Structure formats: C-alpha cells, structure tokens
Amino acid sequence: MGDIDKKITHVLFCGPHFPASQDYTREYLVDYSFVQVDDVPLAAVPDVIEKYDICIVKSMKLDFNVLSRAKKMKLVMQFGVGLEGVDIDAATKFGIKVARIPSHATGNAASCAEMAIYLMLGLLRKQNEMQTSIKQRMLGGPIGETLLGKTVFILGYGNIGMDLAKRLKPFGVKIIATKRNWDTHLDYSCQSNGDLVDEKGGHEDIHTFASSADIVVVCLCLNIETVGIVNKSFISSMRKGALLVNIARGGLLDYDAVLYSLKSGHLGGLGMDVAWTEPFDPDDPILKLKNVLITPHVAGSTEYSYRSTSKVVGDVAIQLHEGKPLTGLEFVN
C-alpha cells in the first residue's frame, strides 16, 4: 500500500468475511476523496494498523499487542454491535475510542429478528426433512408444527429481543423474556397482555423460564458473565423436545451440552446463525443431525441493514476528518 497520505483519513476493514461491509462503505464514500477505505487479510492487520485512523474490526481479535501498534488510531468500531474481540481496556490505555453502531438505528435488529423467525419456522416445519421428501418425490410430509400457541422465551431483551417480540406477536405466541438490567424508559408495549416477564435475568430465573418455553431464542451479548450460559443445567431445565435458536454469538452455548442434548432427543432442534468457531466446520458432527439448521452469520446481513450501517461508518469517517463530533455511535469507553 506504500506510504499513507496524511491528508487522507484512512479506514481499515479487517479480514475477508462480510465483504459487503467495505464494498458498501466505499460506494457511500465515492464522492469523498479524502477518505480511503482498505481491507486486508487478518494476518496482515498487525503489520499495517499503525497507518490507519479508524479500524472496523469485524471478526478480528484486537488484543493489547495489536492495539499497541495502532499509533494513529482514533476509533475502533464494529460493523454492527459485537465488540467481544476488542480489548477495550487496552484501547482506552492507548487513547483509542471504541464504539458499536446501535442495532435499532440501522435495521440490524429487525434483520436479526427476522432471521430468528426464519430459523424457528424452519425447525417447526422440518426444513431438512422437506428437502428429503422433495428428493424422494414424496408429497404431504413431513408433518410440521405451527408457531401458533407456542411459548417463546427470549433470553436477552435488548434491541434485537424487543424487535423479535414485536414481530412474533401476530403469530399468536406467548412471549416471556429476561434482561439483566431493566431501564425505566424501555417501551413495554408488548406487556399489554401480560406476556412479558420483567425480571433481572439471574441464572435461577432463566432456568425457570426455560422450563415454560417451547422455543428458547438466545439474543444476549457475549461477555465474561454470559459465555457458556446455555449449558447442561440450562438445557436440562428446558422442556423435552423444545427448540433452541441462537442469533447472538456461538460462545453463549456450551458445545458439548448442545450436541449431547440433540443426540439424546432432549433438544427437539437447533437453529443457529452463529457458531463456536467461525467459519464453522461443515463436517462438524452437529451438522449431521436432521434437526439442525445453520446459516453463515448472515442474520444482520441485509441490504437495508448494510446500507444503513455503511452510511454511519462513512459519516463517522467524514466527521473525524473534519474534526467534528462523532455521531451515530454508542461508545463503550
């Protein structure tokens, strides 16, 4: 890439995954020659990060060592909401601001909520078995189930959880949800018929709620408190045959507990847009099971969401270049 022009604000996208993020950002900034958008392989990031003003982390792990090399860096952000790969304490030490883009403002939350419903319906209607019926030229099977009459436990009632609740109501489901910290200003509109349970979300409570649900949808942020929260104890508390859907982060689920429960038949099915390691191994034993649906981390990857998020990234780059306050972000340090 050669020497970096100091009159240009340089934006670095890390790695090959989610390529539309940098492509759409470049399109948005096509008329702003003073902003340069680059993307480099993950392995190259430590060697070039010193040249950049803004870093879009994507699936990169930005630890103390990498951040210590970011001599010009003003801002690290995610093309979305998850920041578990960023050492926020180290960024703070080096004077680098860290931010996420609020999901409710870009359509990301709505896109993820729709994906959760897609996975739920796919499991209920036995999507994998339908493909087998097509190959066998068989009509009228398998017999699936409806969302109508089901109880759905939303584990993590943030922006995505709230969007999901609103979209599920027309299906005729009962909704229960937990959130660790309830804010008094939250919109409790979906409580109008007594569905939503307002709780603090402690481990004992979530086991109780899981036992009441036909479907559990995981919408939590991944952090030191929530990693592996859907473990053997949690799954054992779920009804036999209940479905588990994860649209948040793979690390929220204990792999061994999920695999065992699927094989034993205690879990009726698993739908996930995220996995324990990404990209996920296509030969993983979990994917051999007929009641498992997986999508390649595309819940938030919609035209609407990506165009909106690219605009936020582009606007922030312009604001930084012009020395203006940064807007549209949620800072975490």
- Candidate from 82-86, 172-176, 208-212 with smallest mean pLDDT: 82-86
pLDDT digits (tens, 9 = 90+) for 111-128: 999 999 999 999 999 999
Please give the pLDDT value at position 204. Answer: 54
Please give the pLDDT value at position 134. Answer: 95
Token pair for 192: 């109008």
Please identify which residue in the block is written with the tokens 């847009």.
273
Determine, yes or no, domain membership for 213.
yes
Q: Are residues 115 and 260 in the same domain?
A: yes
What average pLDDT does range 80-89 have in this prediction?
A: 87
| 47: pLDDT strictly greater than 50 | yes
Q: Are residues 138 and 209 in the same domain?
A: yes
Q: Are residues 167 and 232 in the same domain?
A: yes
Total domain count for the chain? 2
Determine, yes or no, domain membership for 4.
no
Determine, yes or no, domain membership for 319.
yes
Determine, yes or no, domain membership for 310.
yes
Q: Are residues 35 and 137 in the same domain?
A: no
Q: Are residues 146 and 196 in the same domain?
A: yes
Q: Are residues 67 and 151 in the same domain?
A: no
Active site residue 249: yes
- What is the CB neighbour count within 10 angstroms for residue 205? 13
What is the 3-state secondary structure of 84-115? CCECHHHHHHCCCEEEECCHHHCCHHHHHHHH
| 329: pLDDT strictly greater than 90 | yes
Q: How many whole angstroms separate alpha carbon 49 and alpha carbon 67?
A: 8
Residues 6+ apart with CB under 8 A from 44: none
Residues 6+ apart with CB under 8 A from 51: 1, 4, 10, 12, 72
Please give the pLDDT value at position 6. Answer: 58
Please give the pLDDT value at position 179. Answer: 77
| 148: pLDDT strictly greater than 50 | yes
Q: Are residues 259 and 149 in the same domain?
A: yes
Q: Are residues 150 and 229 in the same domain?
A: yes
**Looking at per-residue confidence, does 148 or 194 come out higher?**
148
Q: Are residues 100 and 112 in the same domain?
A: no
pLDDT bracket for residue 82 (50, 70, 90): confident
Structural domain harbouring 48: 9-104+302-331
Determine, yes or no, domain membership for 2.
no
| Identified catalytic residue from 249, 266, 303, 307 | 249
| Identified catalytic residue from 50, 225, 278, 303 | 278
Q: Are residues 176 and 223 in the same domain?
A: yes
Residues 6+ apart with CB under 8 A from 230: 155, 216, 218, 244, 246, 252, 253, 254, 257, 258
Please give the pLDDT value at position 5. Answer: 52
Phi and psi at residue 114, in whole multiples of 5°?
-65, -40
pLDDT bracket for residue 200 (50, 70, 90): very low
**Looking at per-residue confidence, does 321 or 205 come out higher?**
321
pLDDT bracket for residue 59 (50, 70, 90): confident
Q: How many whole angstroms separate alpha carbon 76 and alpha carbon 326?
A: 12
Active site residue 185: no
| 299: pLDDT strictly greater than 60 | yes
Q: Among residues 302, 238, 225, which one has the least CA distance to residue 270? A: 238
Q: Are residues 13 and 136 in the same domain?
A: no
CATH number at residue 212: 3.40.50.720
| Identified catalytic residue from 10, 26, 100, 297 | 297
Q: How many whole angstroms separate alpha carbon 83 and alpha carbon 60?
A: 10
| 249: pLDDT strictly greater than 80 | yes
Determine, yes or no, domain membership for 189.
yes
Active site residue 84: no
Kind of pairing between the strands at 174-178 and 54-56: unpaired
| 96: pLDDT strictly greater than 60 | yes
**Looking at per-residue confidence, does 324 or 3 come out higher?**
324
Q: Among residues 312, 266, 272, which one has the least CA distance to residue 56? A: 312
Determine, yes or no, domain membership for 146.
yes
Determine, yes or no, domain membership for 158.
yes
Q: Are residues 24 and 66 in the same domain?
A: yes
What whole-number percentage of the chain has pLDDT above 70? 91
